[in-house]
A and B are shown apart, each in its own frame.
Chain A
Amino acid sequence: MPSSPPRHGEGRGRLQQWLPKLVLAPSFALLLFFVYGFIVWTSYISFTDSGMLPDYTWVGLEQWSKLWRSWTWGIALHNIWVFGLLYIVSCTVLGLLLAILLDQRIRAEGVLRTIYLYPMALSFIVTGTAWQWFLNPGLGLEKTMRELGWESFTFNWLINADMAIYTIVIAAVWQATGFIMAMFLAGLRGIDGEMIKAAQIDGAPTWKIYARIIIPQLRPVFLSAIVVLAHLAIKSFDLVVAMTGGGPGNSTAVPATFMYSYAFSRNEMGIAAASAVFMLAVIAALIVPYLYSELRGGRS
């Protein structure tokens, strides 16, 4: 659609021409200030001596170098890498699997879909509370299994510094898989049936049809799913807070909790700002090309 501000007649013409922009202006101004202005401000702060309160003394890259030498930041980066990778892969694989299974003319599809997707409607704090209790060795799964007679069953990941991050992966995957499944399901339903029919007539086995014809056609869905999951992963904060609070020790710190703690309790505003800018940069590297291609291509 070629953009065409509908031309309008005489009298109110000028006003009518300005009105759309006037209506858009408040939102745009808000975002310019609260998003882009703030990005600039935070970036600037990351080069200053700010501690407890903002301090506009320029210190160059000092905060950045402190950030990269920080022990906890190292842990946070490692964790987000492990978490992000496992989260994206598990959600995508499980989501695709569930979508394919659901796409087999299942009788109770509606009900099952509702069940798979409901965690997405819950707050991570609620989910985290539930999982924390579920995985607590003294109360939850471990105790239950032992009571059921499996004496040696041990599942203490939540309080094990080396494994705690995986409990967060489990809860996060549980929360988001349904959503990814829904995306794939929509993708599957949009695939042209002709090629599949042809292949079936040729006697190709089902798995081959999926591997050769169907899944390759889902490429755009994969892309969207990965972008969405990656940006959710980098932003993940609530779930970590609710499940482990970053502990044991700092073993489940992620960049989002790192930033929060440096900003609000450690009084290291400069370092907090640097970590926030870093997070933004990573997300922007993912999102900007994605948005660009989405907006440029397609309709309009």
Chain B
Amino acid sequence: MSSAMPGRRSLSGARVMLYAVLCVFAVIYLTPLYVMLTTSFKSLEEIHQGNMLALPEQWTVTPWLDAWSGACIGLECNGVHGYFFNSISIVVPAVLISGLLGAFNGYVLTKWRFRGHKIVFGLILFSCFIPFQIVLLPMARVLGILQVANSTTGLVLVHVVYGIGFTTLFFRNFYESFPNELVRAAQLDGAGFFTLFFRILLPSSIPIIVVTVIWQFTNVWNDFLFGVSFSSGDSAPITVALNNLVNSSTGVKAYNVNMAAAMIAAVPTLIVYVLAGKYFLRGLMSGSVKG
């Protein structure tokens, strides 16, 4: 891990330029977040009169309180908090189940290979890339038949199914580099399939578990297509509620409340990102390259 271009330390003109360019980009990247944040702390009058880029003259948390528990989505004026908890009740089981299945799959696909394992893996992997439009229509029917249409349970099922591809990919690539000698040695000691997994592999899987959890958490939390297609009203996740809130037009558009609601929807993934950015990046990378 060494930078490509060694040399020159002095603060030459070129280096000043370099820093300047990087900072300009940083500002560009931060501006939307900054505008969202400051807008969410302004009153509506200030938004209409004041400058978008200015800090609030009068800080107010009312928009946040409104967004959380007072803003109207359709007829219900309870804010987004219910939908926030919907998202949590979708994310938690979906991440756990798909993660567990992925871990088992990765384990089998690397340490208990059978003929055709590559095809099986390829078929599983392809499911990460399909445009989900292809499954929307039949999924709607199946959820209806299973009596879980328009419920968070239905969305959990959907996210588990379409999360398996990624979780399998992560664990498979991780276990691929897990030394086979250790596995063999344990087997000679009489460890069976599950013992091997729970005693030998799982304890050393913490990094990939973190990656998987973060990846799945972010993906499921940020999902909109499945949410909007398979849920309505009470069972909608936060992204759908946010979109509804922003596009409701009962009288005046409360931009500050919209921005506060957007921030509420963004906070969980942002926190995860800031706390565990390294793992987040690893997930992203293994999702794109074979890792």
Contacts and interface: CB of A to CB of B under 8 A. Distances in A.
Interface residues of A, number: 120
Contacts of A103: 3-5
B168 A134 contact: no
Contact of A118 (B224, B273, B289): B273
Contacts, number: 312
Given A123-B221, A144-B53, 18 more contacts: A5-B114, A6-B183, A20-B112, A21-B114, A31-B123, A34-B162, A39-B135, A125-B239, A130-B32, A130-B36, A133-B39, A189-B2, A200-B7, A256-B131, A260-B133, A276-B137, A280-B134, A295-B118
A207 to B, nearest CB: 11
B170 to A, nearest CB: 14
B72 interface: no
A300 B111 CA distance: 12
A141 B28 CA distance: 13
Nearest to B264: A126
Nearest to B277: A114
B135 A104 contact: no
Contact of A26 (B101, B247, B273, B274): B101
Contacts of A6: 111-112, 183-184, 187
Contact of A295 (B36, B104, B122): B122
A182 interface: yes
A42 B112 contact: no
A129 interface: yes
B189 to A, nearest CB: 12
Interface stretch (B55-63, B203-211, B279-287): B279-287
A96 interface: no
A143 to B, nearest CB: 7
Nearest to A229: B288
Interface stretch (A66-74, A81-89, A161-169, A230-238): A230-238
Contacts of A144: 51-53
Interface string B245-289: 011000000010011001101100110111001001100110111
A139 B242 CA distance: 20
Interface stretch (A57-65, A151-159, A267-275): A267-275
Contacts of B107: 23
